Structure 1
Amino acid sequence: MSVTVFIQGRNGASRWQPGKRWLLLPVLLIAAGSGLYQHSAKQILQQQTNVDNERVAREAQKDELIELKGATEAQLAMLVTHVARIQAKVTRLEALGQQVAKNNQLEDQFDFSSEVGVGGLSELGANIELDQLISDMDKLVSRIDNNNVQLSILETVSSNLHIDEERYISGRPIQKGWLSSPYGLRNDPFNGRRTVHKGIDFAGKEGTNVVATAGGVITWAGRMFGYGELVEIDHGNGLRTRYGHNKSLLVTVGDVIAKGENIAKMGSTGRSTGPHVHYEVLRGGQQIDPQKFVYRKAG
Protein backbone atom coordinates (compact mmCIF):
# COMPACT_ATOMS: atom_id res chain seq x y z
CA MET A 1 0.00 0.00 0.00
CA SER A 2 1.28 3.41 -0.95
CA VAL A 3 0.05 6.99 -0.51
CA THR A 4 0.59 9.75 -3.07
CA VAL A 5 0.26 13.43 -2.14
CA PHE A 6 -0.19 16.08 -4.84
CA ILE A 7 1.05 19.57 -3.99
CA GLN A 8 -0.12 22.52 -6.12
CA GLY A 9 2.58 25.14 -6.65
CA ARG A 10 3.24 28.15 -9.00
CA ASN A 11 4.88 25.92 -11.54
CA GLY A 12 2.10 23.40 -11.49
CA ALA A 13 1.24 20.36 -9.39
CA SER A 14 3.93 18.14 -7.92
CA ARG A 15 3.64 14.69 -6.50
CA TRP A 16 5.10 13.52 -3.16
CA GLN A 17 4.90 9.98 -2.04
CA PRO A 18 5.80 9.58 1.75
CA GLY A 19 7.67 6.57 2.96
CA LYS A 20 6.55 4.03 5.57
CA ARG A 21 8.18 5.99 8.42
CA TRP A 22 5.92 8.96 7.84
CA LEU A 23 2.92 6.72 7.98
CA LEU A 24 3.92 5.61 11.53
CA LEU A 25 3.96 9.20 12.88
CA PRO A 26 0.21 9.40 13.74
CA VAL A 27 0.46 6.10 15.56
CA LEU A 28 3.38 7.39 17.56
CA LEU A 29 1.57 10.64 18.42
CA ILE A 30 -1.49 8.73 19.58
CA ALA A 31 0.64 6.44 21.74
CA ALA A 32 2.50 9.39 23.28
CA GLY A 33 -0.75 11.18 24.05
CA SER A 34 -2.16 8.07 25.68
CA GLY A 35 0.99 7.72 27.84
CA LEU A 36 0.81 11.34 28.97
CA TYR A 37 -2.86 10.91 29.85
CA GLN A 38 -2.19 7.82 31.94
CA HIS A 39 0.73 9.54 33.74
CA SER A 40 -1.46 12.56 34.54
CA ALA A 41 -4.25 10.29 35.77
CA LYS A 42 -1.83 8.49 38.08
CA GLN A 43 -0.56 11.80 39.52
CA ILE A 44 -4.12 13.00 40.13
CA LEU A 45 -4.97 9.71 41.83
CA GLN A 46 -1.82 9.92 44.02
CA GLN A 47 -2.66 13.51 45.02
CA GLN A 48 -6.21 12.45 45.92
CA THR A 49 -4.83 9.59 48.01
CA ASN A 50 -2.47 12.00 49.83
CA VAL A 51 -5.36 14.37 50.54
CA ASP A 52 -7.43 11.49 51.93
CA ASN A 53 -4.53 10.35 54.12
CA GLU A 54 -4.00 13.88 55.49
CA ARG A 55 -7.73 14.16 56.25
CA VAL A 56 -7.62 10.85 58.17
CA ALA A 57 -4.51 12.02 60.06
CA ARG A 58 -6.21 15.31 61.00
CA GLU A 59 -9.24 13.42 62.26
CA ALA A 60 -6.98 11.21 64.37
CA GLN A 61 -5.16 14.26 65.77
CA LYS A 62 -8.49 15.86 66.55
CA ASP A 63 -9.60 12.78 68.47
CA GLU A 64 -6.29 12.73 70.36
CA LEU A 65 -6.68 16.41 71.27
CA ILE A 66 -10.21 15.80 72.53
CA GLU A 67 -8.98 12.86 74.63
CA LEU A 68 -6.02 14.90 75.95
CA LYS A 69 -8.32 17.78 76.85
CA GLY A 70 -10.58 15.41 78.78
CA ALA A 71 -7.62 13.91 80.66
CA THR A 72 -6.24 17.39 81.42
CA GLU A 73 -9.58 18.53 82.79
CA ALA A 74 -9.76 15.40 84.97
CA GLN A 75 -6.24 16.03 86.30
CA LEU A 76 -7.09 19.67 86.93
CA ALA A 77 -10.16 18.64 88.90
CA MET A 78 -8.03 16.24 90.93
CA LEU A 79 -5.52 19.02 91.66
CA VAL A 80 -8.32 21.29 92.81
CA THR A 81 -9.46 18.57 95.23
CA HIS A 82 -5.91 18.13 96.57
CA VAL A 83 -5.52 21.87 97.06
CA ALA A 84 -8.79 21.97 99.00
CA ARG A 85 -7.59 19.17 101.29
CA ILE A 86 -4.24 20.88 101.86
CA GLN A 87 -6.03 24.14 102.66
CA ALA A 88 -8.11 22.35 105.30
CA LYS A 89 -5.01 20.79 106.87
CA VAL A 90 -3.11 24.10 106.88
CA THR A 91 -6.08 25.82 108.49
CA ARG A 92 -6.15 23.16 111.21
CA LEU A 93 -2.38 23.52 111.67
CA GLU A 94 -2.70 27.28 112.03
CA ALA A 95 -5.45 26.87 114.62
CA LEU A 96 -3.29 24.42 116.58
CA GLY A 97 -0.29 26.74 116.48
CA GLN A 98 -2.39 29.68 117.61
CA GLN A 99 -3.79 27.63 120.50
CA VAL A 100 -0.29 26.53 121.59
CA ALA A 101 0.89 30.14 121.47
CA LYS A 102 -2.13 31.18 123.54
CA ASN A 103 -1.54 28.45 126.12
CA ASN A 104 2.02 29.70 126.55
CA GLN A 105 0.87 33.35 126.63
CA LEU A 106 2.77 34.08 123.43
CA GLU A 107 -0.12 34.93 121.11
CA ASP A 108 1.11 38.53 120.81
CA GLN A 109 4.41 37.23 119.38
CA PHE A 110 3.05 34.59 116.98
CA ASP A 111 0.37 35.23 114.37
CA PHE A 112 -0.58 32.12 112.40
CA SER A 113 -3.55 33.76 110.69
CA SER A 114 -1.59 36.19 108.50
CA GLU A 115 -0.06 35.18 105.21
CA VAL A 116 3.32 36.16 103.85
CA GLY A 117 3.47 38.24 100.68
CA VAL A 118 3.77 36.26 97.47
CA GLY A 119 4.00 37.03 93.76
CA GLY A 120 1.70 35.75 91.04
CA LEU A 121 1.69 34.89 87.36
CA SER A 122 0.27 37.16 84.70
CA GLU A 123 -3.16 36.15 83.42
CA LEU A 124 -2.46 37.44 79.90
CA GLY A 125 -2.61 34.67 77.37
CA ALA A 126 -3.21 31.96 79.96
CA ASN A 127 -6.15 30.02 81.22
CA ILE A 128 -7.45 31.88 84.26
CA GLU A 129 -8.58 28.70 86.05
CA LEU A 130 -5.15 27.12 85.82
CA ASP A 131 -3.49 30.38 86.90
CA GLN A 132 -5.82 30.58 89.89
CA LEU A 133 -4.95 27.03 90.88
CA ILE A 134 -1.21 27.73 90.60
CA SER A 135 -1.66 30.90 92.64
CA ASP A 136 -3.52 28.97 95.36
CA MET A 137 -0.78 26.35 95.47
CA ASP A 138 1.91 29.06 95.76
CA LYS A 139 0.02 30.62 98.66
CA LEU A 140 -0.32 27.25 100.38
CA VAL A 141 3.42 26.61 100.07
CA SER A 142 4.14 30.05 101.54
CA ARG A 143 1.69 29.46 104.41
CA ILE A 144 3.24 26.07 105.17
CA ASP A 145 6.77 27.52 105.13
CA ASN A 146 5.69 30.40 107.35
CA ASN A 147 3.91 28.09 109.81
CA ASN A 148 6.88 25.71 109.98
CA VAL A 149 9.20 28.59 110.87
CA GLN A 150 6.83 29.95 113.50
CA LEU A 151 6.15 26.53 115.01
CA SER A 152 9.88 25.83 115.22
CA ILE A 153 10.47 29.12 117.03
CA LEU A 154 7.43 28.54 119.24
CA GLU A 155 8.69 25.06 120.15
CA THR A 156 12.06 26.52 121.18
CA VAL A 157 10.48 29.29 123.21
CA SER A 158 8.03 26.88 124.86
CA SER A 159 10.83 24.44 125.70
CA ASN A 160 12.88 27.22 127.26
CA LEU A 161 9.87 28.25 129.34
CA HIS A 162 9.47 24.75 130.78
CA ILE A 163 13.03 23.46 130.90
CA ASP A 164 13.87 25.22 134.15
CA GLU A 165 10.72 23.80 135.72
CA GLU A 166 11.60 20.28 134.54
CA ARG A 167 15.20 20.51 135.76
CA TYR A 168 14.19 22.01 139.12
CA ILE A 169 15.01 19.34 141.73
CA SER A 170 12.34 19.07 144.38
CA GLY A 171 10.25 16.53 146.28
CA ARG A 172 10.82 12.97 147.46
CA PRO A 173 12.12 10.15 145.24
CA ILE A 174 9.29 7.83 146.32
CA GLN A 175 5.52 7.78 146.03
CA LYS A 176 5.00 6.00 149.35
CA GLY A 177 7.38 5.61 152.29
CA TRP A 178 9.16 7.49 155.05
CA LEU A 179 12.51 9.09 155.83
CA SER A 180 14.62 6.45 157.59
CA SER A 181 18.10 8.00 157.67
CA PRO A 182 19.16 11.66 157.20
CA TYR A 183 22.26 13.15 155.58
CA GLY A 184 25.42 13.56 157.68
CA LEU A 185 27.16 11.70 160.53
CA ARG A 186 25.58 8.45 161.72
CA ASN A 187 26.50 5.01 163.06
CA ASP A 188 27.19 2.57 160.26
CA PRO A 189 24.45 -0.11 160.37
CA PHE A 190 26.98 -2.88 159.60
CA ASN A 191 29.97 -2.10 161.86
CA GLY A 192 28.61 0.58 164.23
CA ARG A 193 31.38 3.04 163.44
CA ARG A 194 30.76 6.77 163.11
CA THR A 195 30.64 7.57 159.39
CA VAL A 196 29.31 10.23 157.03
CA HIS A 197 26.09 9.32 155.26
CA LYS A 198 26.22 11.20 151.93
CA GLY A 199 22.54 10.86 151.10
CA ILE A 200 19.05 10.40 152.52
CA ASP A 201 17.34 7.03 152.91
CA PHE A 202 13.62 6.59 152.29
CA ALA A 203 12.21 3.24 153.43
CA GLY A 204 9.06 1.59 152.18
CA LYS A 205 7.52 -1.56 150.80
CA GLU A 206 9.59 -3.55 148.34
CA GLY A 207 8.50 -2.86 144.78
CA THR A 208 7.28 0.67 145.50
CA ASN A 209 7.84 3.06 142.60
CA VAL A 210 10.99 5.20 142.68
CA VAL A 211 10.48 8.50 140.84
CA ALA A 212 12.80 11.13 139.35
CA THR A 213 12.87 14.35 141.35
CA ALA A 214 13.64 16.34 138.17
CA GLY A 215 13.85 15.82 134.43
CA GLY A 216 17.13 14.89 132.77
CA VAL A 217 19.19 12.22 131.02
CA ILE A 218 20.04 8.80 132.47
CA THR A 219 23.84 8.54 132.79
CA TRP A 220 23.94 5.31 134.83
CA ALA A 221 21.52 2.42 135.05
CA GLY A 222 23.05 -0.72 136.54
CA ARG A 223 24.93 -2.20 139.42
CA MET A 224 27.52 -0.10 141.28
CA PHE A 225 29.61 -1.20 144.27
CA GLY A 226 27.82 -0.39 147.55
CA TYR A 227 24.77 1.08 145.78
CA GLY A 228 23.42 -2.14 144.31
CA GLU A 229 21.14 -1.40 141.37
CA LEU A 230 21.65 2.33 140.82
CA VAL A 231 20.09 5.01 138.63
CA GLU A 232 21.90 8.31 138.05
CA ILE A 233 20.31 11.30 136.29
CA ASP A 234 22.10 14.34 134.88
CA HIS A 235 19.92 17.46 135.19
CA GLY A 236 22.37 19.92 133.66
CA ASN A 237 24.11 22.88 135.29
CA GLY A 238 26.39 20.42 137.13
CA LEU A 239 23.53 18.79 139.08
CA ARG A 240 22.92 15.03 139.26
CA THR A 241 20.78 12.75 141.43
CA ARG A 242 21.31 9.10 142.42
CA TYR A 243 18.79 6.45 143.44
CA GLY A 244 20.37 3.34 144.97
CA HIS A 245 19.53 -0.19 146.26
CA ASN A 246 16.70 -0.71 143.73
CA LYS A 247 15.12 -4.09 143.15
CA SER A 248 14.78 -3.48 139.41
CA LEU A 249 15.36 -0.63 136.94
CA LEU A 250 12.84 0.84 134.49
CA VAL A 251 15.28 2.98 132.47
CA THR A 252 18.48 2.60 130.48
CA VAL A 253 21.46 4.86 129.85
CA GLY A 254 20.61 7.64 127.41
CA ASP A 255 16.90 7.77 128.22
CA VAL A 256 15.41 11.24 128.59
CA ILE A 257 12.98 11.25 131.50
CA ALA A 258 10.56 13.80 132.92
CA LYS A 259 10.09 15.02 136.46
CA GLY A 260 8.00 12.52 138.46
CA GLU A 261 8.54 9.65 136.01
CA ASN A 262 8.95 6.12 137.43
CA ILE A 263 12.58 5.02 137.05
CA ALA A 264 12.91 1.94 139.31
CA LYS A 265 11.31 -0.34 141.89
CA MET A 266 12.36 -0.08 145.54
CA GLY A 267 14.55 -2.92 146.78
CA SER A 268 17.48 -3.85 149.02
CA THR A 269 20.35 -4.61 146.64
CA GLY A 270 23.94 -3.74 147.44
CA ARG A 271 25.01 -2.70 150.96
CA SER A 272 21.53 -2.53 152.46
CA THR A 273 19.64 -3.86 155.49
CA GLY A 274 16.14 -3.64 154.02
CA PRO A 275 13.96 -2.15 151.26
CA HIS A 276 14.73 1.57 150.85
CA VAL A 277 16.05 4.16 148.41
CA HIS A 278 19.39 5.82 149.01
CA TYR A 279 18.94 9.28 147.49
CA GLU A 280 21.85 11.59 146.67
CA VAL A 281 22.21 15.03 145.10
CA LEU A 282 25.58 15.89 143.54
CA ARG A 283 26.84 19.29 142.47
CA GLY A 284 30.03 19.31 140.43
CA GLY A 285 30.57 15.63 141.28
CA GLN A 286 30.36 16.14 145.07
CA GLN A 287 27.49 14.96 147.28
CA ILE A 288 25.56 17.74 149.02
CA ASP A 289 22.70 17.64 151.52
CA PRO A 290 19.54 16.63 149.58
CA GLN A 291 17.23 17.79 152.37
CA LYS A 292 16.81 21.34 151.05
CA PHE A 293 15.78 19.93 147.66
CA VAL A 294 13.36 17.42 149.19
CA TYR A 295 11.42 19.95 151.18
CA ARG A 296 11.51 22.99 148.93
CA LYS A 297 8.45 23.98 146.89
CA ALA A 298 8.15 22.73 143.35
CA GLY A 299 9.37 25.22 140.73
Structure 2
Amino acid sequence: MRQMVAQFGANRPGLAVALLLGVGMVVGVGGGLAMTAGLRAQVSNQQAQMESTRRDAQREINALAARLGELQAEANRLNALGVRLTRIGQLQDGEFNFDKPVGVGGAGPVQDMPKAELDAGLSKLKRQFAASGEQLSVLESLLFNRQLDMNSVPSREPIANSYITSGFGGRADPFNGGRANHKGIDFEADVGDPVLAVADGVVSYSGVRSGYGNVVEVDHGNGYVTRYAHNSRLTRTVGQLVRAGQEIAKAGSTGRSTGAHVHFEVWENGRVVDPRNFLAQESPLKLKG
Protein backbone atom coordinates (compact mmCIF):
# COMPACT_ATOMS: atom_id res chain seq x y z
CA MET A 1 0.00 0.00 0.00
CA ARG A 2 2.79 2.34 0.91
CA GLN A 3 4.54 1.46 -2.32
CA MET A 4 1.40 2.35 -4.24
CA VAL A 5 1.07 5.75 -2.54
CA ALA A 6 4.76 6.43 -3.07
CA GLN A 7 4.51 5.42 -6.71
CA PHE A 8 1.39 7.65 -7.11
CA GLY A 9 3.28 10.54 -5.59
CA ALA A 10 6.27 9.91 -7.81
CA ASN A 11 4.17 9.70 -10.93
CA ARG A 12 1.89 12.70 -10.10
CA PRO A 13 3.58 14.88 -7.53
CA GLY A 14 1.29 17.95 -8.03
CA LEU A 15 -1.89 16.00 -7.48
CA ALA A 16 -0.44 14.41 -4.36
CA VAL A 17 0.40 17.81 -2.87
CA ALA A 18 -3.09 19.13 -3.59
CA LEU A 19 -4.60 16.05 -2.00
CA LEU A 20 -2.51 16.51 1.14
CA LEU A 21 -3.46 20.21 1.36
CA GLY A 22 -7.14 19.36 1.01
CA VAL A 23 -6.98 16.82 3.76
CA GLY A 24 -5.21 19.37 6.03
CA MET A 25 -7.84 21.98 5.33
CA VAL A 26 -10.64 19.58 6.15
CA VAL A 27 -8.94 18.66 9.41
CA GLY A 28 -8.35 22.36 10.24
CA VAL A 29 -11.91 23.40 9.49
CA GLY A 30 -13.25 20.57 11.57
CA GLY A 31 -11.09 21.62 14.51
CA GLY A 32 -12.14 25.29 14.14
CA LEU A 33 -15.82 24.37 14.09
CA ALA A 34 -15.40 22.30 17.22
CA MET A 35 -13.65 25.19 19.00
CA THR A 36 -16.35 27.67 17.93
CA ALA A 37 -19.07 25.40 19.23
CA GLY A 38 -17.25 25.12 22.54
CA LEU A 39 -16.93 28.92 22.84
CA ARG A 40 -20.60 29.37 22.01
CA ALA A 41 -21.57 26.88 24.70
CA GLN A 42 -19.34 28.68 27.20
CA VAL A 43 -20.84 32.09 26.34
CA SER A 44 -24.37 30.68 26.58
CA ASN A 45 -23.59 29.23 29.99
CA GLN A 46 -22.17 32.56 31.18
CA GLN A 47 -25.25 34.40 29.90
CA ALA A 48 -27.50 31.98 31.77
CA GLN A 49 -25.50 32.54 34.95
CA MET A 50 -25.67 36.32 34.49
CA GLU A 51 -29.45 36.14 33.93
CA SER A 52 -29.86 34.05 37.09
CA THR A 53 -27.73 36.53 39.04
CA ARG A 54 -29.77 39.41 37.63
CA ARG A 55 -33.03 37.76 38.67
CA ASP A 56 -31.68 37.12 42.17
CA ALA A 57 -30.53 40.74 42.45
CA GLN A 58 -33.92 41.99 41.22
CA ARG A 59 -35.68 39.87 43.83
CA GLU A 60 -33.50 41.46 46.51
CA ILE A 61 -34.27 44.93 45.14
CA ASN A 62 -38.00 44.18 45.08
CA ALA A 63 -37.85 42.97 48.68
CA LEU A 64 -36.02 46.13 49.74
CA ALA A 65 -38.52 48.25 47.78
CA ALA A 66 -41.39 46.58 49.64
CA ARG A 67 -39.76 47.33 53.00
CA LEU A 68 -39.06 50.87 51.85
CA GLY A 69 -42.74 51.25 50.95
CA GLU A 70 -43.75 50.11 54.44
CA LEU A 71 -41.38 52.60 56.04
CA GLN A 72 -42.61 55.41 53.78
CA ALA A 73 -46.22 54.62 54.70
CA GLU A 74 -45.32 54.63 58.39
CA ALA A 75 -43.46 57.91 57.97
CA ASN A 76 -46.50 59.45 56.25
CA ARG A 77 -48.70 58.25 59.10
CA LEU A 78 -46.39 59.76 61.70
CA ASN A 79 -46.26 63.04 59.75
CA ALA A 80 -50.04 63.18 59.57
CA LEU A 81 -50.25 62.41 63.27
CA GLY A 82 -47.72 65.14 63.98
CA VAL A 83 -49.78 67.64 62.00
CA ARG A 84 -52.88 66.69 64.03
CA LEU A 85 -50.97 67.08 67.29
CA THR A 86 -49.69 70.48 66.16
CA ARG A 87 -53.26 71.55 65.40
CA ILE A 88 -54.66 70.15 68.66
CA GLY A 89 -51.87 71.76 70.65
CA GLN A 90 -52.44 75.04 68.78
CA LEU A 91 -48.73 75.39 68.10
CA GLN A 92 -47.54 78.29 66.00
CA ASP A 93 -47.28 77.86 62.23
CA GLY A 94 -43.75 76.95 61.26
CA GLU A 95 -42.81 75.72 64.72
CA PHE A 96 -42.98 72.18 63.37
CA ASN A 97 -42.51 71.62 59.64
CA PHE A 98 -42.95 67.92 58.84
CA ASP A 99 -42.09 68.36 55.16
CA LYS A 100 -38.67 69.91 55.83
CA PRO A 101 -35.79 67.42 55.51
CA VAL A 102 -33.58 66.91 58.53
CA GLY A 103 -30.04 68.24 58.11
CA VAL A 104 -27.31 65.59 58.46
CA GLY A 105 -23.58 65.44 57.76
CA GLY A 106 -20.33 63.66 58.46
CA ALA A 107 -16.79 63.09 57.21
CA GLY A 108 -15.59 60.20 55.01
CA PRO A 109 -14.37 57.77 53.98
CA VAL A 110 -17.45 55.93 52.74
CA GLN A 111 -17.50 52.15 52.41
CA ASP A 112 -19.88 49.70 50.81
CA MET A 113 -22.63 48.58 53.17
CA PRO A 114 -23.16 44.81 53.45
CA LYS A 115 -26.71 43.65 52.78
CA ALA A 116 -27.00 42.11 56.24
CA GLU A 117 -26.17 45.49 57.80
CA LEU A 118 -28.73 47.22 55.57
CA ASP A 119 -31.41 44.70 56.55
CA ALA A 120 -30.61 45.20 60.24
CA GLY A 121 -30.80 48.98 59.85
CA LEU A 122 -34.19 48.80 58.12
CA SER A 123 -35.55 46.48 60.81
CA LYS A 124 -34.34 48.80 63.55
CA LEU A 125 -35.88 51.81 61.81
CA LYS A 126 -39.20 49.97 61.51
CA ARG A 127 -39.16 49.21 65.24
CA GLN A 128 -38.38 52.84 66.02
CA PHE A 129 -41.25 54.01 63.82
CA ALA A 130 -43.63 51.60 65.55
CA ALA A 131 -42.56 52.75 69.03
CA SER A 132 -42.81 56.43 68.05
CA GLY A 133 -46.24 55.84 66.53
CA GLU A 134 -47.52 54.25 69.75
CA GLN A 135 -46.18 57.12 71.86
CA LEU A 136 -47.65 59.78 69.57
CA SER A 137 -50.99 57.98 69.54
CA VAL A 138 -51.08 58.06 73.34
CA LEU A 139 -50.15 61.75 73.27
CA GLU A 140 -52.88 62.42 70.71
CA SER A 141 -55.44 60.71 72.95
CA LEU A 142 -54.33 62.76 75.95
CA LEU A 143 -54.42 66.02 74.00
CA PHE A 144 -57.80 65.13 72.52
CA ASN A 145 -59.21 64.51 75.99
CA ARG A 146 -57.77 67.81 77.18
CA GLN A 147 -59.23 69.48 74.11
CA LEU A 148 -62.64 68.09 75.06
CA ASP A 149 -62.14 69.44 78.58
CA MET A 150 -61.10 72.81 77.17
CA ASN A 151 -64.12 72.91 74.90
CA SER A 152 -66.33 72.65 77.96
CA VAL A 153 -64.55 75.56 79.69
CA PRO A 154 -65.50 79.19 78.82
CA SER A 155 -62.22 79.99 77.10
CA ARG A 156 -63.27 82.10 74.10
CA GLU A 157 -64.84 85.46 73.49
CA PRO A 158 -68.59 85.70 72.78
CA ILE A 159 -68.15 87.97 69.77
CA ALA A 160 -65.49 88.12 67.09
CA ASN A 161 -63.12 91.05 66.56
CA SER A 162 -64.38 93.05 69.52
CA TYR A 163 -63.04 94.58 72.73
CA ILE A 164 -64.15 94.94 76.35
CA THR A 165 -66.03 98.14 77.14
CA SER A 166 -66.82 97.44 80.79
CA GLY A 167 -65.10 95.09 83.22
CA PHE A 168 -66.16 92.77 86.00
CA GLY A 169 -66.84 93.95 89.55
CA GLY A 170 -67.40 97.41 91.00
CA ARG A 171 -68.12 100.28 88.63
CA ALA A 172 -70.16 103.48 88.35
CA ASP A 173 -73.77 102.69 87.47
CA PRO A 174 -74.43 103.98 83.91
CA PHE A 175 -78.06 104.93 84.75
CA ASN A 176 -78.29 106.21 88.31
CA GLY A 177 -74.67 106.94 89.17
CA GLY A 178 -73.13 105.64 92.34
CA ARG A 179 -71.35 102.33 92.78
CA ALA A 180 -72.74 99.14 91.26
CA ASN A 181 -71.52 95.57 90.99
CA HIS A 182 -71.14 94.42 87.40
CA LYS A 183 -71.56 90.62 87.24
CA GLY A 184 -69.94 90.19 83.85
CA ILE A 185 -68.00 92.01 81.19
CA ASP A 186 -69.36 93.93 78.20
CA PHE A 187 -68.12 93.58 74.63
CA GLU A 188 -68.63 96.20 71.94
CA ALA A 189 -71.05 95.09 69.23
CA ASP A 190 -73.45 96.31 66.58
CA VAL A 191 -77.08 95.27 66.44
CA GLY A 192 -77.32 91.96 64.60
CA ASP A 193 -73.72 90.84 65.17
CA PRO A 194 -73.56 87.08 65.86
CA VAL A 195 -73.15 86.17 69.52
CA LEU A 196 -71.04 83.02 69.85
CA ALA A 197 -70.98 80.20 72.39
CA VAL A 198 -67.68 80.30 74.23
CA ALA A 199 -67.65 76.52 74.83
CA ASP A 200 -69.57 73.34 74.06
CA GLY A 201 -72.75 72.87 76.01
CA VAL A 202 -76.54 72.69 76.11
CA VAL A 203 -78.86 75.70 76.08
CA SER A 204 -80.42 75.80 79.55
CA TYR A 205 -82.35 79.07 79.18
CA SER A 206 -83.55 81.15 76.24
CA GLY A 207 -85.89 84.05 76.98
CA VAL A 208 -86.28 87.34 78.82
CA ARG A 209 -84.81 88.15 82.23
CA SER A 210 -85.42 91.35 84.17
CA GLY A 211 -82.73 93.89 83.39
CA TYR A 212 -80.97 91.53 80.96
CA GLY A 213 -83.45 91.69 78.10
CA ASN A 214 -83.21 88.74 75.73
CA VAL A 215 -80.92 86.17 77.34
CA VAL A 216 -79.33 82.86 76.39
CA GLU A 217 -77.70 80.66 79.02
CA VAL A 218 -75.56 77.63 78.18
CA ASP A 219 -74.71 74.83 80.61
CA HIS A 220 -71.24 73.47 79.82
CA GLY A 221 -71.09 70.79 82.49
CA ASN A 222 -68.43 70.58 85.18
CA GLY A 223 -70.30 73.32 87.05
CA TYR A 224 -69.92 76.00 84.33
CA VAL A 225 -72.78 78.12 82.97
CA THR A 226 -72.42 81.16 80.71
CA ARG A 227 -74.96 83.97 80.18
CA TYR A 228 -75.29 86.23 77.10
CA ALA A 229 -77.57 89.24 77.58
CA HIS A 230 -79.17 92.27 75.84
CA ASN A 231 -79.58 90.38 72.56
CA SER A 232 -81.84 91.66 69.79
CA ARG A 233 -82.85 88.10 68.84
CA LEU A 234 -82.34 84.61 70.21
CA THR A 235 -81.42 81.89 67.70
CA ARG A 236 -81.27 78.87 70.04
CA THR A 237 -83.90 77.16 72.14
CA VAL A 238 -83.69 75.26 75.43
CA GLY A 239 -82.22 71.78 75.08
CA GLN A 240 -80.21 72.45 71.92
CA LEU A 241 -76.61 71.31 71.80
CA VAL A 242 -74.15 74.03 70.82
CA ARG A 243 -70.48 73.90 69.95
CA ALA A 244 -67.82 76.41 70.78
CA GLY A 245 -67.92 79.24 68.23
CA GLN A 246 -71.48 78.58 67.06
CA GLU A 247 -74.00 81.42 66.93
CA ILE A 248 -76.60 81.44 69.72
CA ALA A 249 -78.08 84.95 69.38
CA LYS A 250 -77.89 88.32 67.64
CA ALA A 251 -76.37 91.25 69.54
CA GLY A 252 -78.63 94.10 70.55
CA SER A 253 -79.62 96.53 73.30
CA THR A 254 -82.65 94.98 75.01
CA GLY A 255 -83.23 95.27 78.74
CA ARG A 256 -81.28 97.70 80.92
CA SER A 257 -78.80 98.87 78.30
CA THR A 258 -77.45 102.16 76.98
CA GLY A 259 -76.59 100.78 73.55
CA ALA A 260 -75.79 97.68 71.53
CA HIS A 261 -73.29 95.38 73.23
CA VAL A 262 -72.90 91.82 74.54
CA HIS A 263 -73.07 91.32 78.30
CA PHE A 264 -71.23 88.12 79.16
CA GLU A 265 -71.22 86.28 82.50
CA VAL A 266 -69.55 83.08 83.73
CA TRP A 267 -70.98 81.07 86.62
CA GLU A 268 -68.93 78.38 88.33
CA ASN A 269 -70.78 76.02 90.68
CA GLY A 270 -73.54 78.59 91.20
CA ARG A 271 -71.19 81.50 91.85
CA VAL A 272 -70.53 84.33 89.38
CA VAL A 273 -66.82 84.72 88.57
CA ASP A 274 -64.68 87.07 86.49
CA PRO A 275 -64.76 85.88 82.85
CA ARG A 276 -61.25 87.23 82.34
CA ASN A 277 -59.96 84.26 84.33
CA PHE A 278 -60.98 82.01 81.43
CA LEU A 279 -60.64 84.09 78.28
CA ALA A 280 -56.83 83.75 78.18
CA GLN A 281 -56.96 79.94 78.10
CA GLU A 282 -56.73 79.32 74.36
CA SER A 283 -54.78 76.06 74.37
CA PRO A 284 -55.41 72.72 76.06
CA LEU A 285 -51.72 72.73 76.96
CA LYS A 286 -52.38 75.74 79.20
CA LEU A 287 -55.22 74.08 81.05
CA LYS A 288 -54.10 73.13 84.53
CA GLY A 289 -54.92 69.64 85.64
Task: Specify the structure having the higher radius of gyration (Cα).
Answer: 1
Tell me: higher relative CO, structure 1 or 2? Use CA pairs within 8 A at least 6 residues apart: 2
TM-score, normalised with respect to structure 2: 0.48
